[in-house]
A and B are shown apart, each in its own frame.
Chain A
C-alpha cells in the first residue's frame, strides 16, 4: 500500500470505490427502469385513450420519482453505508455529460426543423431514420448507456445499453411494437435493480444501537 500510495491511479481507485459504494444499492437502476416502463405505458395509454401521456410522462416522472429517489437514498443507503460527501468532481462530470447530450439533441432537432422548413428532408434521410427507427433507438441507448457507464463508473449500464440494442434490433425484424419493447427493457432493468437492492440490504444490515454512528 505504501508503494501504491505514490501512484495517482491508486487514489483514483479509492475515489472510484467510494463513488461505486454509493451506487451499489440498485436504486439508480430502478429509476432508469421506471422511466423506460412509464414511457412505454404512456405510449400504450396514448393508443387507448388518445391522450399525450408519453409527452407528459418525463415531466411527471421527474416530479414524482426524483423525490422518491432522494428519500430512498436517505432511508436505505446512507444509514447502511454511512454518510459521505464525495464533493463536486463526479457530479461535474455527470452535469457536463447531460449538458453535452442536451446540446447534441437540440442541435439535431434544430437541423431537422431547418431541413423540413427549407427544402423538406431528403428521402434517403426519411428512409434511414424512420424505416430503421428501432435500430437507431437501440444504438442510441447503447451509446448513451456507455457514456453514462464511463462517467459514473457503473459497468452494468453498458449491459443495459446492449440489452436495449439487442431487443430493439430483434423487435425490428420481428415487428414487435416499440412500446412493448420499452416495457420489457424497463421491467428487466427494474428487476436487476431490485436484485441489487436486496443484495445491498443483506450485505449492509442496519447498524444496531444508538442512532449516533460515531463510535468516538
Chain B
C-alpha cells in the first residue's frame, strides 16, 4: 500500500529540514552539548546553527541554559522531553512512510 497523505502529514516538518535533523540527532545521543561542540559535529556555520537552534527552541524541542564552567560562561543545549518524544515520533513516521514506498 503506497503512503497516504496522512503519512506525509505526520512527518514533523520542523525536524525534517536536514540541518535541524542533524542538530536533533546530535542532541538525541548526548545529555547536553554546547554551541561550539554542535558547530564542530554538524559542520554548520555559527549563524546557520544559531538560526536553526532558535527555531527548535521556539518549538520547545531544545532547552538552552546558561552556566559557568571554570568561571567561563557557556551555553548548554539539550533536548527537552518534548523534543525527545518528537524525534522518536519523527523517526517512526519516516520509517512508516519509507516502508510503504514501492521498491
Contact = CB atoms under 8 A, between A and B. Distances in A.
Interface string A136-179: 00000000000000000000000000000000000000000000
Contacts of A10: 25
Interface residues of B, number: 40
B30 A85 contact: yes
B94 A82 contact: no
B70 interface: yes
B67 to A, nearest CB: 9
The B interface, classified by DSSP as helix, strand, loop or mixed, is helix
A204 interface: yes
B38 A5 contact: no
A207 interface: yes
Contacts of A2: 16, 18, 21, 94
A55 B89 CA distance: 55
B6 interface: no
B73 A215 contact: no
B74 A213 contact: yes
A84 B94 contact: no
A1 interface: yes
A69 to B, nearest CB: 16
B40 A18 contact: no
B41 A6 contact: no
A207 B94 CA distance: 38
Please provide the 8 A-B residue pairs with the shortest distance between their CB atoms, ordered closest to farther: A82-B37, A82-B36, A214-B75, A6-B95, A85-B31, A215-B46, A15-B29, A213-B36
Interface of A: 1-3, 5-6, 10-11, 14-15, 17-18, 21, 74, 78, 81-87, 204, 207, 211-216
